[in-house]
Each structure stands twice: as C-alpha cells, then as structure tokens.
C-alpha cells in the first residue's frame, strides 16, 4: 500500500518536471522572484493533478499539464465579438501577450491599471501583498497545482487597483492567433473600501490558457465579473479565481462557456467579513459532434464571517457526447452564523449521449445556518414542448425557447441588463446556428 | 370543418385501447359539446386531434377542412387553426407569458406565409384582449402559468385562443375549478369569438357552462365511443339523471 502510494506521488512529481522542463522563471524584483520560487516549491511538493486525485476524478488534466500546448485551430467565425455594444476600457492580449497598440489608454478615473510585468520590476507596490497570496491560501484544504504553476511562471496580466467607481467596465479581450500558443496570465484586483468595479473578459486567449485572478475586496467594496470564454472548439483552459471578501462587500461572477475541448474553471471564495454577498454562476453549452467538449466548474466557497449569502448557480446544456462537470462546495466555519448558502447545478441533455457529473458538497460547523443544494440532469420537458408546439411554435424554436428558459436562472445572476442581454444573445446564437 | 370517422386510438406504451371508433362531424360556425364519465376518452380525443405523442392511431381518420390532421405535426395543426384549451395548462418556468404568446402568434403567421406582427401591434392587441378577461399586466409578465391559480390558468388559455384566432377550438374542461365569476368571464371570452367561420368543441361535465356557451349539438361519450347525440336538452338530461340511464340504454 505505502509503496503504491509513493509511486503515485512520484508520478505526480515527475509530471511537474515534465511541465517545467522548458519553462523559465521570469525576471523581476526580489519580492516576486521569492514569491515565484515559493510557488514552484509548493507545486513540487504537491505534484501535478493525478488520475487518483479525488478533485480530478471527472476531468483529465493531461492536456493542461503536458509540456507543450496541444494544437488548437483558430476558429474563424463571423459573429461580432461579445460586449460590442458596451462602452468599456479595452485591454487586449494576443496569445497571452499584452497588445498596447490594440488597447485603450489605461487611464480611467477611480481605477489604476498597470501591467504585471511593470509591477514585478518594482520593489514597493501593494501587489506584493496580493500576488500569490490568495492562491497560496486557496491551496488548503485542496491542492490546486495548476494555480501554483501559474504564480510561479506568469509574466503577463493586469494589476487593477480600484479606489472609486469607474464610469465604465474594464474589459480584457483575449485573442487567439497561434495554433500552438501557451498563455499564462495572472491578474490582480484590489477593490478598496466603498469602491466598485465591473470586469469583463472575453475571447479564447490561446491554444492553451492557464489563468489566475486574485481579487481582494475590502469592506463595502463590490466586484462584478462577466466572462465569455471564446468559441474556439479546440482551445483548452484552466482558470482560477481566488477571492477574499471583507464585510458588507459584493462579489459576483458569471461565466459563459460555449465550445472548447477542455475548460476547467475553479472559483475559490473566502467570505471573511460579515454581511457580504458572493454569487457565482455559469452557463455552459457544448456540442460534442465535431470536437470534444468537456467543461468543469469547480467552486469552493468558505463562510467565515456571519450573515453572509453565497449562491452557486450552474447550468449546462449538452449534446452529442459533451461532458459537463460540477464540483461545488460550501464550507461553513464555526462562528459563521446566519449563513445563507445556495447551490444548484443542472444539466439539460439535448440527447442521450452526453453526460453530467456532479459532486455537490456541504460542510457545516455552525448551527444557525440555511444551506441548500441540488443537482439535476434531464431532458427537455416533453409536456412543455408539446404545449408550445400546440400553440404553433415549431419543434426547433420551441426547444430553443425551453433551453434558454433553463439557462435563465444563471443568466439572471448578471445584474447589469445590458451585459445580461449580450450573454443572452450569445446563447441564442449558439442554439440558432445548430438548428439549421 | 372537423370530421372524425371511426377513430381508434390506443396507448403507445401499453396495450390499452382508449378510443374505440369515434364518429363526429362539426360544421363551420357550430358549437358541439361532449359530456361523459371520467375516463371515457374525452381528453384523449382532444390530445390526439392536437398531436400529442404517446398515442397510436390504429384506425379511422380525422380531417380539418379536408386535410388529414393525423399526418401533421402539432405546430402545423395549430397553424391550420386547431386549438386546444388544456384541461391542465402546462407551467413553463423561465418563459414569460408575453414572450410565449408573441412567439406563438408569429410562428403561426410565419408558417402561413404571413408577415410577423409588429411589437407595437402585438402589445396593443394583447392589452385589449387581456383586459376583457381581467388578466393584469403582472400575469402577462410572469412565466407561463407558473404560480397561476386554477382560474388564472384557464383564463390564460382563453387569452391564447383569443390571440391566435383559431378556427377549430377544443375546450377541455375549461370550466372545472372556476368560480361563478370566472366562468362568466371565460364564457364571455368564448362567445366573443363565436363566428360563422369558427367552431367549438366544448368538453364539460356541467350544464352550467352550457348555459353560457349554448351548444348546437351535445354528445355523450362513454368507454371510447360517442353513444348518443342530441340537442341541448341532452345536457339537461345528464344534469338531472346522470349517465346511468344513458349507459344502460346502449348496453
Ligand atoms: N398516458 C396515459 N397513460 C395511461 N392511461 C391513460 C393515458 N392517457 C389516458 N389514459 C387512460 O385512458 C382513459 C381515458 O382517459 P381520458 O382521455 O383522460 O378520459 P377523460 O378525459 O374522458 O376523463 C382513462 O382510463 C385513462 O386512465
Ligand atoms: Mg379529461
């Protein structure tokens, strides 16, 4: 037994060597060099995700940890980019590299935006207290080796200091150009007391993307996040969000995923202060007909403070052998009284070939809490479908209408109606394209 | 308008015969009523005519203006003018009532090769029709039938009928669960639609509804067949004596 265990651990460490073989640590000031070295040490200690790891039971990490990015074609389509109608400050990354010429001026009242590469060269900067810090804290109680890898090697990313209420969202646009690009992005967001930011992200980014975002929200701060992961069929991505919330603060994050050979979205939230809100939601649509589709939402919400509300709302629409995964946990620590925790994960199977694997978990150490969770997977409601058809709506549009209705609970988590409408259009577009 | 000849239907999943040779002819502009004990096959008849899955037609025909209904998809039947007010209207969470109705109206128009109704015209029309049925703006906004009371659901069925202006309207126990006032509203809604080009098949247990919606012909259905047809007086006979006499008459 012990020997078998040691063998598995060794294989996980060997996988780290394979991945790191051609990676060079970026240069920077002493503090970040030390932080990166510590992250690499963390990674070596835990090893890469293994086939026996409970946390990777439903998703194979091979493509995410092999030395080179598996090739991914650049998907050529004529759909206009999402958020096109939204007034926003655009920051463009091409295959994971900042494209200053394509980006807007980074000056915006209420927020200071810098590049991680610039910040890394400075000795005195608040980012020192955030870079890799929430990631490291998020390694307990579950290992997240790909996030440690990111902290160890990320060169690019944005560092956003929110001190007021900027007049428009900051929008990160990820363009995928090279079929072999391997991007590592690490963003930092610090929302000061009473400040508020809306952050948008869209685009496929690269053939392979490893992204970490650390978000620190002070008391009374608010952070709204809407992301649309690009339509490229063969892209692979692992993204981690680590968020820490002060009192009376708000964290809201919505992710839209359409297509993609492999997407693992982890969201790790620690609600430290009292009276805060953390809402995370996602809508994923996958069709496995011509390309594989594997989508994984892994969420871990820890309630430390009192009177906090957390919601996890995840919806998957799957067809032709697509796979959806949900691993969601609500951990309520001792003292986190009056916690209101809600978690729902649901899959709509448009045919019999697809699969949805869900692992909802509650772990509660406080006695005065309300927590509910549920997970379902099923086909279109035949009664509702017939009702619509009997009113003259043909089977295709009727199915689409019911599919959008199924996704509505997740989309409704987007507070801004303009952004919600943008996302709704994408969902509808995906369905309409598949109908003809 | 609607012609049904020797229609025989059984369940798809079970070896169970439900309709055992139904004959029915409904002329344009007329109102027919079907009464009959529970389980006699009235809802099954209405479902088979509107194209619900789960039934196997083993014999007979059903045509609407000469077109074989049984070959058509439910949406095609609807676009031709077939409408069923459901005994149990279906709840559709996440789909707004208004969106549902606009989609339905425009889907039918599209299938018939007509222009879609503009958002403005639609709104004007639905507001007017909703008002006569005492359906408020909130009910139009809410998801289809979700959280509606029994009476609200039935009124919502009539609203759909009024918006879609079908030529063959089947009402399956639209009166059950309605209080006196709601029954009056619904009947007025139906009567407002009476027209020489439009026919009704009203399925009910009670004479009460037929006091408001005066039928031309009343049929009694039992055990998968129409066992007796007659004038409005037949409904009164049922009301007074129940079905027992009629059943023994044919037995
Ligand atoms: N889907 C079904 N599964 C099983 N039995 C059914 C189904 N639909 C109808 N039946 C049976 O067929 C008979 C007729 O039902 P129905 O048409 O609902 O009668 P009615 O509307 O006259 O009360 C009943 O015995 C009923 O139980
Ligand atoms: Mg019935």
B15-31 tens-digit pLDDT: 899 999 999 999 999 99
Provide the 8-state DSSP code for A211. E
pLDDT for res B247:
80
CATH number at residue B67: 3.40.50.300
CB A69 within 8 A of CB A180: yes
Of A389, A401, A408, the CB nearest to B75: A389
Counting one residue from chain A and one from chain B, the pairs whose CB atoms sit within 8 A come to 79
Shortest distance between the Cα of B120 and any Cα of chain A, in A, equals 21
| Mean pLDDT value across chain A | 96
Mean pLDDT across A177-187: 97
pLDDT for res A230:
81
Query: Of A65-69, A76-80, A198-202, where does mean pLDDT reach its minimum?
Result: A76-80
pLDDT for res B165:
94
pLDDT for res A398:
96
Confidence bin at A433 (pLDDT 50/70/90): confident
| Mean pLDDT value across chain B | 92
Tell how many helices (H) and how many strands (E) occur in chain B. 10, 12
Mean pLDDT across A97-106: 98
Q: Measuring CA to CA, which residue among B99, B94, B69, B71 is closest to residue B84?
A: B69
First to last CA, chain B: 31
**For chain A, the helix, strand and coil percentages under 3-state DSSP, each to the nearest 5:** 25, 35, 35
Phi, psi of A343 (to 5 degrees): -145, 130
Tell how many helices (H) and how many strands (E) occur in chain A. 9, 19
Share of chain A above pLDDT 90, in %: 92
Spatial neighbors of A85 by CB under 8 A, at least 6 apart, are A418, A422
Higher pLDDT, A360 or B248: A360
| Block residue for tokens 């073989």 | A21
CB burial of residue B34 (10 Å; 0-12, 13-18, 19+): buried
Confidence bin at B251 (pLDDT 50/70/90): low
Instruction: Tell me, yes or no, whether B224 lies in a domain.
Output: yes
pLDDT for res A309:
98
Cα separation, A50 vs A64, whole angstroms: 12
- Chain A segment 347-406 residues within 8 A of B by beta carbon are 381-384, 386-395, 397-398, 401-402, 404-406
Condensed to tens digits (0 to 9), the pLDDT of residues A14-46 reads 999 999 998 998 999 999 999 999 999 999 999
Cα separation, B177 vs B193, whole angstroms: 22
Confidence bin at A1 (pLDDT 50/70/90): low
User: Which H, E and C letters describe B128-143, residue by residue?
Assistant: HHHHHCCCCHHHHHCE
3-state secondary structure of B63: strand
Cα separation, A222 vs A245, whole angstroms: 9
CB burial of residue A239 (10 Å; 0-12, 13-18, 19+): buried
Find chain B residues with C-beta within 8 A of A404's C-beta.
94
Work out the number of other CB atoms within 10 angstroms of the CB of residue A313.
21
Residues with CB under 5 A from ligand 2 (ion): B 43, 87
pLDDT for res A371:
96
CB B152 within 8 A of CB B130: no
The strand order across the sheet containing A355-364 reads A111-115, A158-162, A182-191, A208-217, A236-245, A262-271, A294-303, A323-332, A355-364
Condensed to tens digits (0 to 9), the pLDDT of residues A153-169 reads 999 999 999 999 999 99
Instruction: Tell me, yes or no, whether A411 lies in a domain.
Output: no
8 Å CB contact of A391 and B160:
yes
Cα separation, A39 vs A14, whole angstroms: 17
Condensed to tens digits (0 to 9), the pLDDT of residues A410-423 reads 999 999 999 999 99
Beta strands B2-11 and B55-64 are: antiparallel
Condensed to tens digits (0 to 9), the pLDDT of residues A335-351 reads 999 999 999 999 999 98
Condensed to tens digits (0 to 9), the pLDDT of residues A69-92 reads 999 999 988 888 899 989 999 999
Instruction: Return the structure tokens found at A313.
Output: 């709302």
Confidence bin at B248 (pLDDT 50/70/90): confident
Cα separation, B138 vs A293, whole angstroms: 40
The residues with which A329 forms a beta bridge, in sequence order, are: A300, A361
Q: Measuring CA to CA, which residue among A280, A64, A39 is closest to residue A143?
A: A39
Find chain A residues with C-beta within 8 A of B79's C-beta.
392
Instruction: Return the structure tokens found at B193.
Output: 């639609």
Condensed to tens digits (0 to 9), the pLDDT of residues B132-180 reads 888 888 999 999 999 998 889 999 999 999 999 999 999 999 988 888 8
First to last CA, chain A: 56
Instruction: Tell me, yes or no, whether B149 lies in a domain.
Output: no
The residues with which B33 forms a beta bridge, in sequence order, are: B202, B218
Shortest distance between the Cα of A237 and any Cα of chain B, in A, equals 31
Phi, psi of A157 (to 5 degrees): 155, 175
Instruction: Give chain A's domain count.
Output: 1
Instruction: Tell me, yes or no, whether B122 lies in a domain.
Output: no
ipTM > 0.90, yes or no: yes
Residues of the domain holding A182: 2-380
- Give Dmax over CA atoms of chain A in angstroms: 70
8 Å CB contact of B86 and A387:
yes
Work out the number of other CB atoms within 10 angstroms of the CB of residue A262.
24
Cα separation, B211 vs B232, whole angstroms: 9
Spatial neighbors of A316 by CB under 8 A, at least 6 apart, are A283, A284, A285, A286, A295, A324, A326, A345, A346, A347, A348, A356
Closest ligand 1 atom to Cα of B41: 17
Mean pLDDT across A384-398: 97
pLDDT for res B228:
92
Distance A397 CA to ligand 2 centre (A): 29
The strand order across the sheet containing B199-203 reads B82-85, B168-172, B199-203, B31-35, B217-222, B225-230
Q: Inform me whether the pLDDT recorded for B250 exceeds 70.
A: no
8 Å CB contact of A391 and B164:
yes
8 Å CB contact of B74 and A386:
yes
- The dihedral through the CA atoms of A388, A392, A396, A397 has a sign that is negative
Condensed to tens digits (0 to 9), the pLDDT of residues A114-168 reads 999 999 999 988 999 999 999 999 999 999 999 999 999 999 999 999 999 999 9
CB-side exposure of A253: number of CA atoms within 13 Å?
23
Mean pLDDT across A270-274: 98
pLDDT for res A436:
58
3-state secondary structure of A245: strand
Instruction: Tell me, yes or no, whether B191 lies in a domain.
Output: yes
Mean pLDDT across A186-202: 98
pLDDT for res B182:
85
Q: Inform me whether the pLDDT recorded for A306 exceeds 70.
A: yes
Chain length of chain B? 251
pLDDT for res B244:
82
8 Å CB contact of A404 and B89:
no
8 Å CB contact of A405 and B90:
no
Indicate the helix (H) or strand (E) that contains A118.
Answer: helix A116-121
Residues of the domain holding B240: 2-90+166-250
pLDDT for res B51:
97
Instruction: Give chain B's domain count.
Output: 1
Condensed to tens digits (0 to 9), the pLDDT of residues B71-105 reads 999 999 999 999 999 999 999 999 999 999 999 99
Nearest CA in chain B to A389: B75
Ligand 1 mutation pick, B39, B203, B206, max ligand atoms within 8 A of CB = B39
Cα separation, B156 vs B147, whole angstroms: 12
């Amino acid at each position: 037994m012990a020997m078998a265990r040691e063998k598995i651990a060794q294989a996980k460490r060997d996988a780290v060597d394979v991945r790191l073989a051609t990676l060079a640590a970026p240069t920077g000031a002493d503090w970040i060099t030390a932080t990166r070295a510590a992250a690499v040490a963390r990674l070596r200690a835990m090893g890469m995700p293994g086939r026996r790891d409970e946390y990777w039971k439903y998703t194979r990490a091979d493509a995410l940890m092999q030395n080179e990015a598996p090739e991914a074609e650049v998907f050529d389509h004529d759909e206009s980019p999402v958020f096109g109608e939204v007034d926003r400050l655009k920051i463009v990354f091409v295959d994971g590299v900042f494209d200053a010429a394509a980006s807007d001026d980074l000056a915006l009242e209420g927020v200071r935006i810098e590049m991680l590469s610039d910040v890394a060269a400075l000795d005195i900067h608040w980012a020192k207290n955030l870079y890799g810090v929430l990631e490291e804290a998020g390694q307990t109680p579950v290992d997240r080796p790909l996030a440690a890898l990111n902290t160890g090697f990320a060169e690019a990313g944005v560092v956003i200091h929110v001190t007021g209420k900027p007049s428009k969202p900051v929008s990160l646009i990820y363009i995928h150009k090279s079929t072999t690009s391997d991007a590592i992005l690490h963003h930092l967001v610090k929302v000061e007391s009473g400040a508020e930011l809306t952050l948008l992200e869209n685009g496929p980014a690269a053939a392979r993307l490893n992204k970490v975002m650390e978000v620190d929200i002070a008391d009374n701060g608010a952070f709204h996040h809407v992301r649309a992961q690009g339509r490229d069929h063969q892209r692979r991505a692992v993204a981690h969000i680590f968020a820490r919330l002060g009192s009376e603060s708000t964290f809201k994050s919505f992710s839209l995923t359409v297509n993609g050979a492999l997407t693992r979205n982890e969201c790790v939230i620690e609600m430290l202060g009292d009276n805060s809100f953390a809402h995370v939601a996602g809508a994923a649509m996958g069709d496995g007909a011509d390309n594989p589709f594997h989508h994984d939402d892994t969420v871990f919400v820890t309630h430390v403070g009192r009177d906090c509300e957390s919601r996890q709302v995840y919806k998957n629409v799957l067809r032709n052998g697509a796979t959806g995964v949900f691993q969601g946990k609500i951990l309520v620590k001792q003292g986190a009284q009056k916690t209101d925790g809600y978690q729902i994960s649901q899959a709509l199977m448009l045919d019999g070939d697809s699969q949805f694997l869900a692992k909802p978990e509650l772990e509660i150490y406080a006695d005065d809490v309300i927590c509910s969770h549920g997970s379902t997977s099923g086909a279109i409601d035949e009664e509702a479908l017939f009702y619509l058809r009997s009113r003259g709506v043909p089977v295709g549009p009727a199915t689409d209408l019911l599919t959008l209705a199924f996704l509505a609970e997740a989309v409704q988590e987007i507070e801004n109606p303009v952004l919600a409408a943008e996302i709704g259009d994408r969902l509808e577009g995906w369905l309409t394209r598949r109908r003809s | 308008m609607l012609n049904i000849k020797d229609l025989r239907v059984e369940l798809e999943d079970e070896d169970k015969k439900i309709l055992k040779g139904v004959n029915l002819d409904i002329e344009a502009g007329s109102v027919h009523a079907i009464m009959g004990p529970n389980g006699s096959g009235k809802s099954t008849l209405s479902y088979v005519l509107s194209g619900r899955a789960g039934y196997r037609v083993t014999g007979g025909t059903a045509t609407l203006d000469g077109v074989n209904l049984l070959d058509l998809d439910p949406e095609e039947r609807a676009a031709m003018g077939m409408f069923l007010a459901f005994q149990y209207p279906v709840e559709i969470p996440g789909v707004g009532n208004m969106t549902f109705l606009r989609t339905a109206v425009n889907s039918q128009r599209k299938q018939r090769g007509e222009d879609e109704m503009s958002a403005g015209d639609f709104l004007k029309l639905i507001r007017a029709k909703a008002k006569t049925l005492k359906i408020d703006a909130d009910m139009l906004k809410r998801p289809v039938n979700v959280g509606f009371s029994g009476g609200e659901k039935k009124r919502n069925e009539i609203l759909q009928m009024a918006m879609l202006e079908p030529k063959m309207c089947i009402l399956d126990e639209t009166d059950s669960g309605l209080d006196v006032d709601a029954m009056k509203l619904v009947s007025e809604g139906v009567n407002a639609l009476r027209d020489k080009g439009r026919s009704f098949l009203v399925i009910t247990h009670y004479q009460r509804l037929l006091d408001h919606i005066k039928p031309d012909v009343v049929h009694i259905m039992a055990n998968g067949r129409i066992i007796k047809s007659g004038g409005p007086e037949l409904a009164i006979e049922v009301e007074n004596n129940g079905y027992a006499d009629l059943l023994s008459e044919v037995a």
